[in-house]
Structure 1
Amino acid sequence: MSARSQKSREFTGRHMLLTILGFFGVVIGVNVTMATLASTSWTGLVVENTYVASQQFNRKAEEGRIQAALGWIGKLTIAWGEVRYGLSDAAGKPLPLHAVKVLFRHPAYEAEDKAVILASAAGQEFAAQHTPKDGVWIVEIDADAGLAEPYRDVRRIMISKGAIQ
């Protein structure tokens, strides 16, 4: 038999330093990853009072069902610094509009929200000069088409290089 010398491995200050650096490195890495994912994804819709918004939900849903039964189709275009909106019936015939208001809402924070009043343009369309910043927007369009309530068209859009994608 051969004699083997066993060298005991000591836990030194260097080992402790590497352990602490590794631990905090993982924690910081996870935090940075989660913060990046949170800031680049949709975080929800900002409302002033969630209770009031929840109380209005059923009424708004019913109005949406009534409006959907009309079969009207809204055409929104955003390009070259101009926002245009027109409305047509189920057969594709343009509907006369009296006024159109467009509200651009940022999904994560309200500081970027902007209301734009469109003016009558060629044909039955309404238009205004506005270039929303690139990113995701919730667009709420209220079009006065002669109904008791304005025709409401709400969509989630993506703006890239000043145009709808």
Structure 2
Amino acid sequence: MNVPIRKSSEFTGRHMLYVMLTFFGTVIAVNLTMARFARTSWTGLVVENTYVASQEFNRKAEEGREQAALGWTGTLTIAGGAVHYSLSDASGGLLALRSVTATFRHPAYEQEDRVISLARMADGTFGSKKTVVDGVWIVEIDADVGRQKPYRQVRRVVVADGAIR
């Protein structure tokens, strides 16, 4: 009777070549994928000219101190994804605003950034029916109160289930 002889399985140089090609192929594929995501999700541009931005820092800090001295309080609410904003003076009375613009920016990428113009509501506040998706946002609000520069408020918020958390 002829019984087939079974070859012992030994690890050869060819096996090592396959292991090395698989390992480095996986590493290279992951690196290329991550590099693509990094390149397409955020430009990396914070300011166009860092020198000019550094020269404007003191002026912007002074404007911020002047604005804080007014004692005004801005109230941003997001309910059901809709945005509402009001601005109160130091005594708590609503200020008459001409217009309000809210810019929503993601801290890490720019693809979903949006600018929302808020409309005057019947109660004197400003709101928009445009919804904001859940996530972490940096909200820059510019409220025109009839002064030379708009009242500016910047907040970092987390929107979950259509509301600020």
TM-score above 0.5: yes
Distance 1:109 1:55, change over 3 A: farther
- The alpha-carbon distance between structure 1 residues 46 and 140, as it changes in their structure 2 partners (threshold 3 A), is farther
Paired with 2:45 and 2:67, the residues of 1 have a C-alpha distance of 25
Task: State the secondary structure of the residue aligned to 2:111.
Answer: helix
How far apart, CA to CA, are the structure 2 residues paired with 1:157 and 1:90?
Answer: 24
The alignment yields a C-alpha RMSD, in angstroms, of 3.5
1:6 matched to which residue of 2? none
| 5+ residue gaps, structure 2 | 1-30, 32-41
Does the residue aligned with 2:74 lie in a helix, a strand or coil?
A: strand
The corresponding residue for 1:77 is 77
Q: Which amino acid aligns with 2:58?
A: N
Aligned pairs, number: 154
Residues 94-103 or 132-141, more deviating: 132-141
- In structure 1, stretches of 5+ residues that fail to align are 1-30, 32-42
Shift of 1:46: 4.8
Quote the Cα distance in structure 1 between the aligned partners of 2:138 and 2:45: 11
**C-alpha contact 1:144 1:151 (8 A) present in aligned 2:** yes
For residues 2-151 of structure 1, the aligned pairs below 5 Å read 46-51=45-50, 52-151=52-151
Name the TM-score, length of structure 1 as normaliser.
0.71
TM-score w.r.t. length of structure 2:
0.71
Q: Secondary structure at the match of 2:87?
A: strand
Alignment correspondent of 2:21: none
User: Identity, % of aligned pairs?
Assistant: 59
Residue 136 and residue 50 in structure 1: after superposition, are their counterparts in 2 closer, same or farther (change >3 A)?
farther
Query: Offset at 1:80?
Result: 1.2
Residue type at the aligned position of 1:114: R
